[in-house]
Structure 1
């Protein structure tokens, strides 16, 4: 395989915008197919050299890498690489489902205490917490919490059925996410008649979605706040967030004024994460997807290490 080429981001090319006022609000809340290598272009800040080297090594080994990082104050893209390419993102695709759930709750189309049965026919036995719970049915709001906090596949499937697949698809287009899509339910096994992936997406669009969430620009302020609240419960801090030092079980009110919300996606040979990290000096919206040959533990750990290195660079940027 040939060595990947580098690309310099164009700040005007689809970078998510975020007014400074939104960052101030967020900080207050915190106190409560191609192989191009991404390139950092901001001046007077850290170069993200460690992240560049890690992603270059992954791309050289055959992995598909897509990354987008944008400064929340200016909206300028400060690190990009193949951020327009749609790649499998696994459970990261839950975020638009949560958005549509919040919209339906606000509009009164869904009763927050409406009881939803666990689907026996499409039951996912390989992962999640609901499979181990005695309750065969849960209210919609509890399903949203379970899905956001633990990525529970059965809860996610129940929410998708409750709000409707077509409504989620239309919502994503309305949010400016035409290259991203929720394709299917979570499944233990995918047959020839099933979509090959539960969801696909671009890092540009998902970084933009998280920037809009913390700036109350996803549908309206109430929807943005509800989805952000659900995502703040996410307990998977093992990738980018591993360098934050946050408590996975209680990180909504960080004592050091760190705002962090995220969602991860995991599947065989797929690791994806998007989120917002805001500290005393700056804030960033980010998304990183790595698709790799999961041939051994070392292949998997090498992919995870790239997320850790990006997390370190993001922390230094924000602090």
Structure 2
């Protein structure tokens, strides 16, 4: 599923951002590789096919977490509020809950689990609390209306026997994902409290295998969101499905760079395509990291 998403093209900044775009184009295996990068403080942005709608897998959980963060700030939800799990919530794949004995978790617990290990069962419980309509409404308010959560996480997707089940968990564009991260970095997600909460959850993510993989950084460094002198911090959310690798996040260095990179390919191409996709995302990550480390104006 690869479709164009109408909307204004982002402004392309100077050569720094153009170098990031050039990294996207260097690939030998046929795959769709979309990217959007935003210099949070400078305001420039660039993209490559960033308005193309593609499957984004669990990267879309950022939108769900943003809505929960908003409700925690407004008091509509409480962090200590208990949430009993249902049989429909429980799925396998990424996460820990389906391996643990607990059947009641707090809203706060579910958020940390969703952000840190992309827990699918926690995701379903949170989505049941807030509803997909609310996530779509938030996406529209943030100017990221192309990002859509179509369904809860399932062990099996729609088949000819179950055509009512959506074939994908979520779709969106690199521009949509980067926009949500940029809002959080600028404290404009809903409020500074909402923005800070989402970024702290993102900083707990344990998957640094895509954009940050080749960047020199300590994923457990204290002091977030202040990076160490001359160093980088990473707060991100990844997504993995057959034929999909996605990474959306914030690099904090001399500059703050919000980014989203999504690779999509035909699984019939075999494991070589997956390796090429991961390699391409990591190459883009190196360009993004170099940009984040370079002081503005240089």
TM-score normalised per structure 1: 0.81
Determine helix, strand or coil for the equivalent of 2:92.
Answer: coil
Residue from 79, 87, 90 that aligns with 1:112: 79
Distance in 1 separating the partners of 2:113 and 2:222: 16
The corresponding residue for 1:216 is: 187
The corresponding residue for 1:265 is: 239
Q: How far is 1:183 from its partner?
A: 0.8
The corresponding residue for 1:5 is: none
Tell whether 2:167 aligns with 1:196: yes
Tell whether 2:67 aligns with 1:100: yes
CA contact (8 A) 1:143 1:159 kept: yes
Change (3 A) 1:162 1:45: closer
Change (3 A) 1:50 1:309: farther
CA-to-aligned-CA distance 1:271-317 (integer Å, 9 cap, x gap): 1111111312x332111111112343322111100111011111222
CA contact (8 A) 2:89 2:122 kept: no
Distance in 1 separating the partners of 2:125 and 2:221: 26
The corresponding residue for 1:301 is: 275
Tell whether 2:13 aligns with 1:74: no
The corresponding residue for 1:42 is: 14
Alignment of 1:220-239 (within 5 A): 220-239=191-210
Q: How far is 1:121 from its partner?
A: 2.9
Distance in 2 separating the partners of 1:188 and 1:44: 42
CA-to-aligned-CA distance 1:24-56 (integer Å, 9 cap, x gap): xxxxxxxxxxxxxxxx7623677347614434x
Deviates more, 1:233-242 or 1:253-262: 253-262
The corresponding residue for 1:279 is: 253
Tell whether 2:262 aligns with 1:289: yes
CA contact (8 A) 2:124 2:152 kept: yes
Distance in 2 separating the partners of 1:106 and 1:199: 25
Change (3 A) 1:122 1:225: closer
Unmatched runs of 5 consecutive residues or more in structure 1: 1-11, 16-39
The corresponding residue for 1:13 is: 9
Alignment of 1:60-209 (within 5 A): 61=30, 63-78=31-46, 80-191=47-158, 192-209=163-180
Change (3 A) 1:42 1:195: same
CA RMSD after TM alignment:
2.1
Distance in 2 separating the partners of 1:236 and 1:275: 11
Q: How far is 1:173 from its partner?
A: 0.8
Tell whether 2:287 aligns with 1:313: yes
Q: How far is 1:223 from its partner?
A: 0.5
Determine helix, strand or coil for the equivalent of 1:105.
Answer: helix
TM-score normalised per structure 2: 0.86
